[in-house]
C-alpha cells in the first residue's frame, strides 16, 4: 500500500512540476518579441506627415475625455491594446484588470479610482509579472520611450524615473495632473515566492498619433 501511495505522490509531483513549467512557458510566450516590429513602431513617430503632427500633452490640446469602451463597460481579462517597449525589443498584449487570471495572459491595466484609461489624460498604470512579461524592465532608463496603443490612438511616453518601493505603498497609484504611464512589477527580480517590494517605472506623455483602430 505504501508503495502505491509513494508512486501516486511521485506522479502528482511530476504533474504539478510539468504544469507549472507549462504555465510559465505560456506566459513568457505572450510577448511578441520582434526587433523589426518595435523599431518600425518607433520609427513611425519620426515619419509623421505634417498634417498628422503628434499632439503635445498640454491640457488644452489633449482634449479626448471619453473612450469607446468606458471603464464600467470593460470586462476583466478583456484585451484592450498593446504595450511596446523598443529598448526591450518586445510588444506586449494589454488586458483590462490586474487579477491573477488576467496577469497570466499578459500585461494588465489597473482599474481603480485613481487610475484612468489613456484617453482620459490622467494616470494610466500597468502591471506584469517580473519573471514573464516584465522580465528585463530593470534595463529601462530615463529617456527611453514606451508606446501604448489603445483604440484608435498611439501614445508615446518618455521614462522619467525608476524606483523601488514596498508592496504596501499606495502612493504609487495616485491621481496625476498630467498624462502619466506607470509600470509596476514585483521586486527583487530573483526573489523566490511572494516578493516584498515593487519595481516602478514612471513615464510622461510626449505625444499622440491617430492610427487605425485596433481589431481583436
Which active-site residues does the annotation give? 129, 186
Residue 212 carries which DSSP code?
Answer: P
Can you read off the three cell numbers belonging to residue 48? 509623421
Between CA 12 and CA 21 the distance in angstroms is 14
Burial label, 84 (beta-carbon count in 10 A; 0-12, 13-18, 19+) = buried
Residue 64 carries which DSSP code?
Answer: -
Residue 162 carries which DSSP code?
Answer: E
Amino acid at each position: 500500500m505504501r508503495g502505491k501511495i509513494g508512486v501516486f505522490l511521485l506522479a502528482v509531483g511530476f504533474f504539478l512540476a510539468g504544469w507549472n513549467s507549462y504555465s510559465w512557458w505560456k506566459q513568457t510566450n505572450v510577448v511578441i518579441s520582434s526587433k523589426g516590429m518595435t523599431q518600425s513602431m518607433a520609427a513611425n513617430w519620426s515619419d509623421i506627415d505634417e498634417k498628422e503632427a503628434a499632439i503635445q500633452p498640454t491640457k488644452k490640446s489633449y482634449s479626448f475625455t471619453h473612450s469607446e469602451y468606458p471603464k464600467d463597460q470593460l470586462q476583466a481579462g478583456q484585451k484592450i491594446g498593446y504595450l511596446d517597449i523598443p529598448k526591450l525589443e518586445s510588444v506586449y498584449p494589454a488586458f483590462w484588470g490586474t487579477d491573477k487570471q488576467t496577469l497570466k495572459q499578459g500585461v494588465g491595466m489597473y482599474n481603480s479610482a485613481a487610475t484612468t484609461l489613456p484617453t482620459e489624460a490622467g494616470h494610466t498604470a500597468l502591471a506584469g509579472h517580473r519573471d514573464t512579461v516584465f522580465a528585463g524592465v530593470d534595463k529601462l532608463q530615463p529617456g527611453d520611450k514606451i508606446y501604448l496603443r489603445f483604440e484608435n490612438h498611439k501614445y508615446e511616453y518618455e521614462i522619467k524615473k525608476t524606483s523601488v518601493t514596498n508592496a504596501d505603498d499606495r502612493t504609487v497609484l495616485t491621481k496625476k495632473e498630467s498624462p502619466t504611464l506607470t509600470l509596476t512589477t514585483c521586486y527583487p527580480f530573483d526573489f523566490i515566492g511572494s516578493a516584498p517590494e515593487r519595481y516602478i517605472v514612471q513615464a510622461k506623455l510626449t505625444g499622440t498619433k491617430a492610427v487605425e483602430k485596433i481589431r481583436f
